[in-house]
């Protein structure tokens, strides 16, 4: 039986419907909840209504694709907004399905489960999974056999950093340099276990893959940061087939990934089709089967 997971993040709301671990349908809506949270600390009333309507629609679409069990996940917007609990209540009322506010640790663990389900790398040693979202970033380290051993989250993501430091298009080299200083300040004392393999999930990593490829080492991340610093968003969107609104936060995502990669001392391998939603769908399907 298919299951559905709706992920309410700082940039987008996404629907993932899967059956036996294989995606059968996806939808997304770019709502940018993280932008007003960064500017004012709260989600305005019109955005609460828009998000509730979007989630209600996505539940109906999941049902049309055979998903009897549907779950809504709320990540950074629910944790960071002063009215995050209002968001949860509106989504519960509109959707009629369970709504789960993810802790940073849960978000990291689900990304780890989803990434390992689709990647064959790291058969025995430590694996790190980096998930740079719009409002926060998680690094999770563990093994296939024993699962998660270490999770850390930082309250900086691509949308928050872009809203804070990238007012111009293109942002320019000096803005990227200021963003690097800010990220280094936020990551002070951030010392993950060193992995054998490092994987990257999330929208920023997938979009950067379109520009410089699936392996993101120090050179590739420095190159893409330079490209994004000096090239207008519309041109990037046309050249690399990346959604224009995604491009607007992509330089910030590249800076965060660059700093995390440097701390892991391993190139990041971008994973497609594996992350928080996929990890949650795997667990939801297992719970349905066990019930």
| CB neighbour burial string for 155-186, b if at least 16 within 10 angstroms, e if fewer | ebbbbbbbbebbeeebbeeebbebbbebbeeb
Mean pLDDT of 115-126: 88
Q: Checking DSSP bridges between strand 137-143 and strand 127-132, what pairing results, if any?
A: antiparallel
Q: Is the pLDDT of residue 256 over 80?
A: yes
What pLDDT does 263 receive?
97
Q: Judge whether 274 and 118 are in contact, CB under 8 Å.
A: yes
What pLDDT does 5 receive?
97
Mean of the per-residue pLDDT values of the chain: 94
Pairwise CA distance, residues 32 & 10, whole Å = 6
- Local confidence band at 290 (pLDDT 50, 70, 90 cut-offs): confident
Percent of the residues in the chain that have a pLDDT greater than 70, as a whole number: 100
Q: Is the pLDDT of residue 244 over 80?
A: yes
Mean pLDDT of 239-255: 93
- Local confidence band at 24 (pLDDT 50, 70, 90 cut-offs): very high
Q: Is the pLDDT of residue 291 over 80?
A: no
**Domain segments of the chain: what residues?**
3-102, 105-270
- Local confidence band at 1 (pLDDT 50, 70, 90 cut-offs): confident
- Local confidence band at 21 (pLDDT 50, 70, 90 cut-offs): confident
What pLDDT does 260 receive?
98
Pairwise CA distance, residues 280 & 26, whole Å = 15
Q: Is the pLDDT of residue 157 over 90?
A: yes
| 161 sits in which H/E element | helix 158-165
What pLDDT does 120 receive?
87
**In the CATH hierarchy, which top-level class contains the domain 105-270?**
alpha beta
Mean pLDDT of 37-42: 93
**Cβ neighbours of residue 37 under 8 Å, at least 6 residues apart?**
10, 43, 77, 80, 81, 135, 160
Q: Which fold has domain 3-102?
A: Nucleotidyltransferase; domain 5 (3.30.420)
Pairwise CA distance, residues 263 & 192, whole Å = 7
pLDDT digits (tens, 9 = 90+) for 95-107: 999 999 999 999 9
> Cis link prior to 38 (omega < 30° from 0)?
no
Fold equal for 3-102 and 105-270: yes
pLDDT digits (tens, 9 = 90+) for 61-114: 999 999 999 999 999 999 999 999 999 999 999 999 999 999 999 999 999 999
Pairwise CA distance, residues 109 & 76, whole Å = 15
């Amino acid at each position: 039986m298919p299951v559905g997971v709706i992920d309410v993040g700082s940039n987008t709301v996404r629907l993932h419907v899967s059956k036996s671990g294989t995606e059968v349908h996806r939808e997304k809506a770019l709502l940018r909840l993280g932008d007003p949270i960064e500017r004012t600390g709260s989600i305005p009333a019109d955005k609460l209504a828009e998000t509730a309507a979007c989630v209600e629609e996505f539940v109906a679409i999941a049902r049309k694709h055979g998903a009897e069990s549907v779950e809504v996940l709320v990540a950074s917007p629910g944790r960071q907004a002063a009215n995050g609990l209002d968001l949860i209540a509106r989504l519960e009322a509109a959707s009629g399905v369970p709504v789960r506010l993810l802790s940073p640790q849960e978000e990291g663990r689900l990304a780890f489960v989803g990434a390992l389900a689709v990647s064959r790398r790291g058969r025995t040693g430590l694996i790190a999974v980096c998930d740079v979202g719009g409002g926060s970033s998680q690094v999770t380290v563990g093994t296939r056999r024993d699962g998660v051993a270490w999770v850390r989250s930082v309250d900086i993501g691509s949308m928050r950093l872009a809203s804070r430091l990238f007012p111009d298009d293109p942002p320019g080299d000096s803005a990227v340099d200021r963003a690097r200083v800010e990220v280094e300040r936020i990551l002070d004392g951030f010392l993950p276990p060193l992995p054998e393999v490092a994987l990257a999930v999330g929208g920023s990593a997938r979009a950067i893959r379109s520009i410089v490829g699936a392996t993101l080492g120090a050179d590739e991340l420095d190159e893409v940061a330079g490209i994004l610093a000096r090239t207008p968003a519309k041109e990037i969107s046309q050249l690399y087939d990346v959604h224009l609104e995604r491009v607007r936060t992509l330089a910030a995502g590249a800076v965060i990934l660059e700093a995390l990669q440097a701390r892991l001392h391993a190139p990041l391998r971008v994973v497609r089709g594996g992350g928080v939603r996929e990890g949650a769908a795997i667990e939801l399907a297992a719970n349905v089967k066990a019930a």
